[in-house]
Amino acid sequence: MNGPVSHSRNRTAAGLPPITATKIIDAAVELTREQGLEGWSIRQLAGALGAHSGVVYHHVGDRGTVADAVVDRVISVMPLPSAELPWREWFSELLLEGRPVLRRHRGVARRLVLVGPTVPSALPTIDRGVQVLQRAGFDRDATLVYRYLLNSAFMLVAVEDDRQDLPGAAAGSMVELFSAHEVDPGKPGLAAAREDVLDRAAASRTPEQIASDFYEYTVARALDGAAALLTSA
Amino acid sequence: MNGPVSHSRNRTAAGLPPITATKIIDAAVELTREQGLEGWSIRQLAGALGAHSGVVYHHVGDRGTVADAVVDRVISVMPLPSAELPWREWFSELLLEGRPVLRRHRGVARRLVLVGPTVPSALPTIDRGVQVLQRAGFDRDATLVYRYLLNSAFMLVAVEDDRQDLPGAAAGSMVELFSAHEVDPGKPGLAAAREDVLDRAAASRTPEQIASDFYEYTVARALDGAAALLTSA
DNA sequence: ACCTGAACACCGTTCAAGT
DNA sequence: ACCTGAACACCGTTCAAGT
């Protein structure tokens, strides 16, 4: 939309403040808030700063490097629950409070799950979370369970993000799919799925509410799955 | 690489077989096998058939439509476990045998999770899977549990796919991250994570083996999480 | 109806040249 | 060192024109 506005060859000569890596990442976070991590281009990012795309490469690096920096920023504002909480409450709080932070920055959850503990801001959370599990008696399984719980929850956030940007209109299309034609009476499983979708629509729950319900359900089941390790041992 | 080779304005005039939607999707599946669902362009797809990109739009549609057709094809060759199996075995088989099929077509798992039961080939699996859960006593929760189990497993396959295409060299970089510098002795949780990564490297397990182990672990935990619903009721 | 060939509006990335 | 401006090799999508 808006390109560089100065016609000088030098920003300082035009009385403009210099561009820094910090300012570039600030702008990238803002664009991510508006359009998601995959929703902006290097050119748009530079344009938002009144500069050319080359300066992004000069100060930060390629698209992947900028994206990692955005992820690091977002993760740094994630809540870090108190170490005194029991393990189940600790992870409930992290996963339930963490979701809105991630959802406000679409695409960050996906990249977080992908690059994992490469993100420096994630290290304090990993440290405390693994400790909480060790203390709860997960012992040698603590790191594995940690990865399992965070993956299960945040992968789902990633899917929610992607679904939102999908052109197919998401959940609405599923209502159509099932309400369009009567389901084969010889297929009771499908019939149940159909009823389910239509019930939710009839209860006039918004797509966000439906997604939120399923997220909470998923977190609860994942915690149950981890808890089973303690009772069996 | 290779564009259309005919200089005639008409394929039949040049003695070439006509292009059909089926052939286009055949080629798209093959390209997906080689480079993943996001690894080819409409131009490459048309080029593989010796045609221009316009013909893809003419016979099938835009990129999303072609991708959906590829997903449908791949899902149609997924295993459908016997309806006689107990619910845990039924889902174990589906999720464990389904993984290699999806992994051979990188990117399909991600889109499958995204569009869900919009894929016609998935309907028989949904029907039987929900029935198996109903019979096992999940009752009204059957469809919810079905979604939970398939999501949990196939989202992880999607992450494995994406990680493979990542330029960052994936798991190798995590070994470096942790072996590079001693971890702060005041952070026992991180120390455990570090040991974990180094142990796996020392056991000379390949990235594929590590991924496979974690997948099986995730499936087992998800099944445990579902099983907890039965015992508590 | 089927297909070509060109065009439009974009991408990420690189790099010589200017200050 | 910082930044410009142009270039390279791509994208997805559309569409008039040909047969």
**B94 closest CA partner among B141, B138, B133:** B133
In the numeric block, the tokens 């399984």 are attached to A141
pLDDT at B116: 86
The alpha carbon dihedral of A193, A199, A205, A206 has a sign of positive
Nearest nucleotide to B49 (CA to C1') is C3
pLDDT at B170: 52
Choose from B177, B224, B229, B232 for mutation: most chain A CBs within 10 A: B224
Number of Cβ pairs < 8 A linking chain A and chain B: 155
pLDDT at A2: 45
The Cβ-side half-sphere exposure at B51, using a 13 Å CA radius, reads 23
B174 is written with which tokens?
């995590």
Of all residues in chain B, the percent with pLDDT exceeding 90 is: 75
CA distance A130 to A146: 6
Residues of B (117-176) whose Cβ lies below 8 Å from A: 117-118, 123, 126-131, 134, 142-144, 146-148, 151-152, 155-156, 158-159, 162-163, 166-168, 173-174
Arithmetic mean of pLDDT, B72-87: 98
Arithmetic mean of pLDDT, B62-68: 97
Nearest nucleotide to A49 (CA to C1') is D3
Residue B143 identity (one-letter amino acid)? T
CA distance B71 to A56: 37
Query: How far: B51 CA to C5 C1' (Å)?
Result: 11
Residue B16, classed as helix, strand or coil, is coil
pLDDT at B228: 97
Query: How far: A109 CA to D16 C1' (Å)?
Result: 45
**Do B134 and A193 make contact, defined as CB atoms within 8 angstroms?**
no
Nearest nucleotide to A20 (CA to C1') is D2
Per the CB < 8 A criterion, the answer to whether B140 and A94 are in contact is no
Per the CB < 8 A criterion, the answer to whether B189 and A134 are in contact is yes
Residues present in chain B in total: 233
CA distance B194 to A215: 30
**Band (B165; pLDDT cuts 50, 70, 90):** confident
CA-based Rg of chain A, rounded to a whole angstrom?
Answer: 22
**Band (B169; pLDDT cuts 50, 70, 90):** low
pLDDT at A1: 43
Q: Which nucleotides of D are covered by protein (CB under 7 A)?
A: 2-6, 10-16, 18-19
pLDDT, tens digit (0-9, with 9 covering 90-100), for B175-228: 766 766 667 778 999 999 999 988 988 998 888 999 999 999 999 999 999 999
Of all residues in chain A, the percent with pLDDT exceeding 70 is: 87
Least confident of A59-68, A113-122, B9-18, B91-100: B9-18
CA distance A119 to A102: 14
Average pLDDT of every residue of chain B? 90
CA distance A136 to B128: 38
CA distance A139 to A183: 49
pLDDT along chain A (233 residues), means of 10: 52 76 98 98 97 97 98 98 98 98 98 92 96 97 97 98 79 65 81 90 89 97 98 73
* Other Cβ atoms within 10 Å of B188 Cβ, number: 15
Give burial (CB, 10 Å; 0-12/13-18/19+) of A90.
buried
**Do B189 and A152 make contact, defined as CB atoms within 8 angstroms?**
no
